[in-house]
């Protein structure tokens, strides 16, 4: 099972909570940028922590949006 | 260009974002950040939550470590206070030390917590800075009686954190319900219930007549004559712009007016964050925003304006609050609403509300359901109740 995070650059305000939780997956440029992959739990946790709800999580196999 | 580069006054989020944006976009000139506080730039939202609770280390609030500033050649002038501005000569006056010349200046001095004249005792607290948080944390001992004046978000977040620390909390609010002017009485009433369920005594419609005590307040006196014994007091009655230092330099009182790009009416002077009255293209007027997201966006936008770039239309205002493990999020302009439609279960702390003005959605509130936010944001953005205002503003 692979979860792909997708950042909506129009909603991201650059809080950086995702970078704190999953530094191997996200980095902060003008907005958060996906730079890698990680365990599904970690990616979901990073997405849920986002105060702006700017990170969607997609199941790579099914194409289904897991979050939000 | 004189080689003086960019000088930023104020070392909060707006200045940090501006500095990062300048370097990221290739600006190679000198960058100096003048900070009144002795701390390097840090993030404020955790001060009422994790830092106050002691669950996060103080160092964790720093935006960057000191090496980052060295690596990016950003000079931090800590413990340095601005005293005035001479825009004609492009010089910033400091309280001590020689003036600083600039090519571009960013005003980002933020806000200061409002105080009450009869509450200046040693056990009266405000919460705006890391030093305030340290002082307050040291006083939040289990069993202590904390009186909070003002049921805004600072007061509410401190109440929630203090309850977690075993502190007895009373909130004194002058309005009939908390957040009445922002969310209306129905949703505001939900917040009063939330705190009451968590063991906070919430006194609404309660004016404050004075305080008794010597060096320390021992009790607050309410307008109806009741007295409220307490060991410490937090005053959370809003903020004012920290712009007194600009008196006489051509900027109006009550905040620096800027366009959506952070430009002032004065050449080479920009402003961002809580010190400003930014132009809101959705309303066609200038108004304070005081949200984290606004300061972040404005800092970056002002830096781009310094470089001759355009950052685009600002995003819809939004803010969030964390209380009792519950996330509360809001998008849009809730203070404009005249009614609200609630879906979900407020009693279970799981609901969303669409706030409406004249039948048009103007804001969305989500409590315990962040998944609702993207749809609420889309709804508000596509509703655009201010389209007519905007046409007038353009004309």
Q: What is the reported pLDDT for B47?
A: 97
Q: Do B329 and A13 touch (CB under 8 A)?
A: no
Nearest chain B Cα distance for residue A67, angstroms: 7
CATH architecture of B6-112+239-306: 3-Layer(bba) Sandwich (3.50)
Beta carbons of A50 and A17 less than 8 angstroms apart: yes
- What is the CATH T-level fold of the domain B325-394, as seen in this structure? Enolase-like; domain 1 (3.30.390)
Nearest chain A Cα distance for residue B236, angstroms: 23
Q: What is the reported pLDDT for B210?
A: 95
Distance (Å, whole) CA B5 – CA B24: 16
Report the CATH number of the B115-235 domain: 3.50.50.60
DSSP, collapsed to helix, strand or coil, labels residue A27 as strand
Q: Is pLDDT at A43 greater than 90 in this prediction? A: yes
- How confident is the model over B100-139, as pLDDT tens digits? 999 999 999 999 999 999 999 999 999 999 999 999 999 9
- How confident is the model over B9-58, as pLDDT tens digits? 999 999 999 999 999 999 999 999 999 999 999 999 999 999 999 999 99
CATH number assigned to the domain comprising residue A46 = 3.30.70.20
Tokens describing residue B105: 């200046």
> How would you class B376 by CB atoms within 10 Å of its CB: exposed for 0-12, middle for 13-18, buried for 19 or more?
buried
Q: Is pLDDT at B390 greater than 60 in this prediction? A: no
Distance (Å, whole) CA B21 – CA B234: 36
Distance (Å, whole) CA B317 – CA B335: 12
Distance (Å, whole) CA B162 – CA B142: 9
Answer whether B21 touches A (CB < 8 Å): yes
**Residue B289 confidence class, pLDDT cut points 50, 70, 90:** confident
3-state DSSP: chain B helix, strand, coil percent, rounded to 5?
A: 30, 30, 40
Nearest chain A Cα distance for residue B143, angstroms: 32
Tokens describing residue B233: 């007091």
Q: Do A51 and B320 touch (CB under 8 A)?
A: yes
Beta carbons of B171 and B206 less than 8 angstroms apart: no
- When scoring A18, A27, A52, A67 by the number of chain B Cβ atoms within 10 A, the one with the most, hence best to mutate, is A52
Q: Do B374 and A11 touch (CB under 8 A)?
A: yes
Distance (Å, whole) CA B210 – CA A14: 43
Q: Do B315 and A67 touch (CB under 8 A)?
A: no
Q: Which DSSP state fits B364?
A: E
Nearest chain A Cα distance for residue B317, angstroms: 11
Beta carbons of B262 and B269 less than 8 angstroms apart: no
Q: Which DSSP state fits B264?
A: -
Picking from B296, B315, B370, the nearest residue to A48 by CB comes out as: B370
Distance (Å, whole) CA B373 – CA B391: 28
- Characterize the bridge pairing of strands B350-357 and B339-345: antiparallel
Q: What is the reported pLDDT for B385?
A: 59
Distance (Å, whole) CA B135 – CA B147: 16
- How confident is the model over B160-178, as pLDDT tens digits? 999 999 999 999 999 999 9
Tokens describing residue B393: 């503003």
pTM for the whole thing?
0.93
Q: Is pLDDT at B388 greater than 60 in this prediction? A: no
Q: CA of B375: how far to CAs of A66, B294, B337, B380, in Å?
A: 15, 21, 18, 9
To which residue do tokens 């939330």 refer? B194
What is the enclosing helix (H) or strand (E) of B20?
helix B13-24
Distance (Å, whole) CA A30 – CA A12: 9
Mean pLDDT of the B195-210 span: 97
**Which residues of chain B neighbour A51 with C-beta distances below 8 Å?**
320, 327, 329
Q: What is the reported pLDDT for B386?
A: 58
**Which residues of chain A neighbour B307 with C-beta distances below 8 Å?**
none
- When scoring B307, B367, B370 by the number of chain A Cβ atoms within 10 A, the one with the most, hence best to mutate, is B370
Answer whether A48 touches B (CB < 8 Å): yes
Answer whether A45 touches B (CB < 8 Å): no
Q: What is the reported pLDDT for A30?
A: 83
- When scoring A11, A48, A51 by the number of chain B Cβ atoms within 10 A, the one with the most, hence best to mutate, is A51
How far is residue B206 CA from its own chain's centroid?
25
Answer whether A68 touches B (CB < 8 Å): yes
Q: Is pLDDT at B395 greater than 50 in this prediction? A: no
Q: Find the helix packing angle between B292-306 and B13-24, rounded to 10°.
A: 40
To which residue do tokens 């609901």 refer? B351
Q: What is the reported pLDDT for B2?
A: 67
Q: Name the residue ranges covered by the structural domains of chain B.
A: 6-112+239-306, 115-235, 325-394
Q: Do B374 and A15 touch (CB under 8 A)?
A: no
**Which residues of chain A neighbour B318 with C-beta distances below 8 Å?**
13, 52
End-to-end CA distance of chain B: 35
Answer whether B292 touches A (CB < 8 Å): yes
Beta carbons of B129 and B115 less than 8 angstroms apart: no
Answer whether B371 touches A (CB < 8 Å): yes
Answer whether B17 touches A (CB < 8 Å): yes
**Residue B282 confidence class, pLDDT cut points 50, 70, 90:** confident
Mean pLDDT of the A16-25 span: 92
Picking from B293, B297, B374, the nearest residue to A68 by CB comes out as: B374
Question: Which residues constitute the domain of residue A33?
Answer: 3-67
| A68: preceding bond cis by omega (within 30 degrees) | yes
User: One fold for both B6-112+239-306 and B325-394?
Assistant: no
User: For chain A, how many structural domains are there in total?
Assistant: 1
**Which residues of chain A neighbour B372 with C-beta distances below 8 Å?**
68
């Amino acid at each position: 099972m692979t979860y792909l995070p997708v950042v909506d650059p129009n909603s991201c305000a650059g809080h950086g909570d995702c970078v704190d939780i999953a530094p191997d997956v996200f980095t902060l440029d003008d907005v958060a940028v996906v730079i890698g992959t990680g365990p599904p739990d970690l990616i979901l946790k990073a997405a849920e922590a986002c105060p702006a709800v700017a990170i969607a999580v997609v199941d790579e196999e099914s194409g289904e949006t897991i979050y939000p | 260009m004189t080689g003086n580069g960019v000088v930023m006054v104020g070392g909060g989020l707006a200045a940090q974002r501006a500095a990062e944006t300048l370097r990221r976009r290739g600006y190679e000139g000198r960058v100096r950040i003048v900070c009144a506080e002795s701390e390097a730039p840090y993030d404020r939202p955790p001060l009422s939550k994790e830092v106050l609770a002691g669950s996060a280390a103080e160092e964790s609030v720093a935006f960057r470590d000191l090496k980052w500033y060295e690596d990016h050649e950003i000079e931090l002038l800590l413990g340095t206070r601005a005293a005035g501005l001479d825009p004609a000569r492009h010089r910033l006056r400091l309280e001590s030390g020689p003036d600083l010349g600039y090519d571009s200046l960013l005003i980002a001095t933020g806000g200061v917590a409002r105080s009450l004249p009869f509450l200046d005792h040693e056990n009266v607290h405000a919460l705006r800075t890391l030093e305030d948080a340290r002082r307050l944390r040291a006083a939040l001992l289990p069993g202590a009686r904390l009186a909070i004046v003002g049921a805004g978000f600072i007061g509410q977040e401190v109440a929630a954190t203090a309850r977690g620390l075993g502190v007895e909390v009373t909130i004194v609010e002058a309005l009939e319900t908390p957040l009445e002017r922002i969310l209306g009485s129905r949703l505001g009433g939900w917040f009063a219930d939330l705190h009451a369920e968590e063991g906070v005594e919430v006194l609404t419609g309660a004016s404050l007549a004075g305080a008794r005590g010597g060096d320390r307040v021992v009790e607050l006196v309410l307008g109806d004559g009741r007295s409220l014994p307490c060991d410490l007091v937090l005053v959370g009655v809003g903020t004012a712009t920290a712009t007194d230092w600009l008196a006489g330099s051509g900027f109006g009182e009550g905040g620096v007016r800027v366009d959506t790009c952070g430009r002032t009416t004065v050449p080479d002077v920009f402003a961002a964050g809580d010190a400003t009255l930014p132009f809101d293209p959705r309303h066609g007027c200038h108004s304070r925003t005081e949200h984290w997201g606004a300061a972040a966006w404005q800092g970056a936008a002002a830096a781009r304006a310094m470089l001759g770039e355009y950052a685009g239309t600002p995003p819809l205002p939004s803010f969030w609050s964390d209380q009792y493990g519950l996330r509360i999020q809001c998008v849009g302009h809730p203070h404009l609403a005249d009614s609200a439609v609630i879906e979900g279960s407020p009693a279970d702390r799981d609901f969303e509300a669409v706030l409406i003005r004249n039948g048009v959605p103007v804001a969305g509130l989500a409590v315990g359901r962040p998944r609702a936010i993207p749809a609420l944001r889309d709804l508000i953005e596509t509703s655009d109740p201010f389209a007519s205002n905007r046409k007038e503003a353009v004309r």
